[in-house]
């Protein structure tokens, strides 16, 4: 690669990926505005009573914005030092998902509304305006969720088995009644899920005394177990927050720190 091309690539990388320079910050601000406009267009386009001429204008506007976002994604891949790392990163996946829905419109007409995934790109606003404390808190939350994943998976399996058993039991109690809505086990399990989560649509209700008693039990049971995931995540969040620097490395990014440092020089984490 020629030296001039290399310099142009580095300059493009600075503008697109860095917000410390005036051009980089302007680029990110324009990008955020474009994302906001595209989301507003998607909301308006979903209104069925909209005049046809206005709907066509919105469709053209979304097409133009999608083309710009596509060029932006290609530019990010082009100037990225490690293209594979960017493509597989969180922002890389979101950037790709943000441009795919309009292209899937030909096969799946309603898929274009998935472009609302572009709202995830607003996360960049924390980096643009240097709201690093919010980024750190978000990182801690992600760490807590990651540590809680296995416990929550076990809890989910337990709840799934529980609602299946309760739904089956309600089917046994109610299925023999005239005009019953508990016509099969699937509908009964659906009732158990709706009741245990305290949503209570009321589209399926028991008519027998035993069924109502079981329904009351399921409601109370829902209140007792629905807070368990919150407790699991909260406990892990406290553990992650109180984690101290070990072996001369930052508890957040794992980079080396100097003795006596109050903040990590790499990620800004308070030590």
Spacing of C-alpha 260 from chain mean position: 37
Please provide residue 247's backbone torsions phi and psi, each rounded to the nearest 5 degrees.
55, 35
Non-local (6+) Cβ contacts of 84 within 8 A are: none
Dihedral sign for Cα 256, 258, 260, 263, please.
negative
Q: pLDDT value at position 251?
A: 60
Q: Helices 22-45 & 52-79, crossing angle to 10 degrees?
A: 150
Distance, CA of 254 to CA of 143 (rounded, Å): 13
Q: pLDDT value at position 80?
A: 85
Q: Please report, in tens digits, the pLDDT of each residue of the chain (271 residues total).
A: 454 555 677 788 887 777 667 777 788 788 888 888 888 887 887 787 888 888 888 888 888 888 888 898 898 888 888 888 888 887 788 888 778 777 776 667 666 666 666 777 766 665 555 544 555 566 667 777 777 788 888 888 888 999 999 999 999 988 888 888 888 899 899 999 998 888 878 888 888 889 899 999 998 888 888 777 777 777 766 666 655 545 556 665 556 666 656 666 555 555 5
| Four-point Cα dihedral 154, 160, 161, 167, nearest 10 | 160
Q: pLDDT value at position 191?
A: 92
Q: pLDDT value at position 190?
A: 93
Q: pLDDT value at position 207?
A: 87
Distance, CA of 37 to CA of 68 (rounded, Å): 13
Cβ atoms within 10 Å, residue 10: 12
Q: pLDDT value at position 3?
A: 47
Q: pLDDT value at position 213?
A: 92
Q: pLDDT value at position 164?
A: 93
What global pTM score does this model have? Answer: 0.57
């Amino acid at each position: 690669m020629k030296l001039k091309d290399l310099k142009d690539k580095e300059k493009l990388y600075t503008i697109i990926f860095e917000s410390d320079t005036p051009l980089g910050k302007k680029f990110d601000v324009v990008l955020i505005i474009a994302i906001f406009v595209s989301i507003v267009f998607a909301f308006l386009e979903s209104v069925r009573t909209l005049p046809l001429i206005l709907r066509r204008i919105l469709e053209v506007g979304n097409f133009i914005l999608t083309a710009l976002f596509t060029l932006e994604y290609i530019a990010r891949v082009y100037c990225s030092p490690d293209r594979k790392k960017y493509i597989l990163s969180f922002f890389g996946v979101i950037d790709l998902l943000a441009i795919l829905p309009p292209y899937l419109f030909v096969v799946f007409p309603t898929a274009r509304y998935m472009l609302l995934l572009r709202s995830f790109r607003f996360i960049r606003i924390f980096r643009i305006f240097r709201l690093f404390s919010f980024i750190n808190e978000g990182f801690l939350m992600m760490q807590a969720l990651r540590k809680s994943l296995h416990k929550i998976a076990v809890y989910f399996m337990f709840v799934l088995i529980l609602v299946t058993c309760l739904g089956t039991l309600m089917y046994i109690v109610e299925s023999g009644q005239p005009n019953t809505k508990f016509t099969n086990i699937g509908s009964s399990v659906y009732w158990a899920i709706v009741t245990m989560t305290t949503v209570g649509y009321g589209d399926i209700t028991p008519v027998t005394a035993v069924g109502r008693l079981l329904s009351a039990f399921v409601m109370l049971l829902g209140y007792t177990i629905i807070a368990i995931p919150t407790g699991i995540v909260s406990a892990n969040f406290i553990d992650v927050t109180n984690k101290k620097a070990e072996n001369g490395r930052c508890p957040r990014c794992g980079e080396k720190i100097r003795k006596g440092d109050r903040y990590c020089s790499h990620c800004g984490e308070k030590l």
